[in-house]
């Protein structure tokens, strides 16, 4: 079984998306009969190659980070480029991996319905969407903070190879909670006030402008 992987992160090979895809593919390829092809959508050549490969593919995974609660522009451009070749597509199965810098699952929740509908409009069989949050710092986080998530992704890749499906139970575990508890929100606000966002805004002279609405 061959899997086409489309990495839709603007960061390409240095992206957090690549970090998340790696254990999934390791699990998928534990069976030596399984292989994958990865294409990167952050260049015009990459998008052209992805379209060519998509037409021939039977099993597809598209991964990307959320940009303003939706897909990056390069992913949208790729999707639109598939419309003219829709009639050439095989009977493919498709799944998605999306992630967000924000930890709450509510940030990734609503795009799932779009991806489900998109799959059907292209004529494919929708297998599901893996979604997770809090990934912006995954490159610098110590191993004990990322091991559980990366292990779950590896198991999910292994189960895909064995069953041809995405395990819904594992998806729910990876998502964790849709919203923080109140106590977590309280500590998050404290950390933002004294450690993260507000100090950065003040350092860059933007603190007083943080509620501006220039487009209104």
What tens digit of pLDDT does each residue of 4-22 get?
999 999 999 999 999 999 9
| pTM above threshold 0.85 | no
Chain mean pLDDT for the chain: 88
Model pLDDT for residues 71-99, shown as the tens digit of each residue: 999 999 999 999 999 999 989 999 999 99
Q: Residue 70 phi/psi, 5° resolution?
A: -150, -170
| Residue in the structure block whose two tokens are 């990366």 | 150
The CATH 3.40.50.360 domain(s) of the chain lie at 2-179
More confident residue, 26 or 214: 26
CATH superfamily of 2-179: Flavodoxin domain (3.40.50.360)
Model pLDDT for residues 147-195, shown as the tens digit of each residue: 999 999 999 999 999 999 988 888 888 876 666 556 655 556 666 666 6
Residue 64 and residue 72 in contact, taking contact as beta carbons nearer than 8 Å: yes
CB atoms within 10 A of CB 212: 9
What is the per-residue pLDDT for 136?
Answer: 81
- Of the listed ranges 3-7, 27-31, 99-103, the one predicted with least confidence: 99-103
* pLDDT mean over 51-77: 93
Q: Rounded to an integer, what is the distance from CA 146 to the centroid of its chain?
A: 16
- Reported confidence tier of residue 211, pLDDT bands at 50, 70, 90: confident
What is the per-residue pLDDT for 84?
Answer: 94
What is the per-residue pLDDT for 174?
Answer: 82
Q: Is the pLDDT of residue 212 over 60?
A: yes
* Dihedral sign for Cα atoms in the order 201, 204, 207, 210: negative
List, edge to edge, every strand of the sheet that includes 125-133: 35-40, 2-7, 59-65, 93-100, 125-133
More confident residue, 210 or 37: 37
From 132, 98, 136, select the one nearest 115 (Cα to Cα): 98
């Amino acid at each position: 079984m061959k899997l086409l992987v489309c990495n839709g992160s603007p960061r390409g090979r240095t992206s957090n998306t690549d970090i998340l895809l790696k254990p999934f593919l390791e699990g998928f390829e534990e069976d030596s009969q399984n292989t994958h092809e990865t294409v990167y959508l952050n260049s015009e050549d990459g998008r052209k190659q992805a379209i060519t490969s998509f037409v021939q593919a039977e099993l597809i995974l598209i991964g990307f980070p959320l940009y303003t609660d939706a897909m990056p522009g390069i992913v949208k451009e790729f999707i639109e480029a598939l419309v003219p070749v829709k009639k050439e597509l095989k009977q493919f199965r498709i799944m998605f991996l999306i992630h967000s810098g924000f930890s709450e699952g509510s940030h990734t929740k609503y795009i799932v319905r779009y991806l489900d509908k998109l799959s059907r409009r292209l004529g494919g069989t929708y297998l599901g969407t893996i979604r997770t949050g809090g990934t912006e710092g995954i490159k610098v986080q110590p191993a004990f903070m990322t091991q559980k998530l990366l292990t779950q992704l590896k198991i999910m890749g292994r189960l895909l190879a064995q069953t041809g499906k995405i395990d819904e139970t594992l998806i729910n575990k990876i998502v964790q909670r849709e919203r923080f508890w109140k106590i977590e929100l309280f500590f998050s606000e404290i950390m933002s006030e004294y450690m993260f966002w507000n100090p950065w805004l003040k350092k860059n002279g933007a603190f007083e402008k943080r509620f501006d609405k220039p487009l209104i």
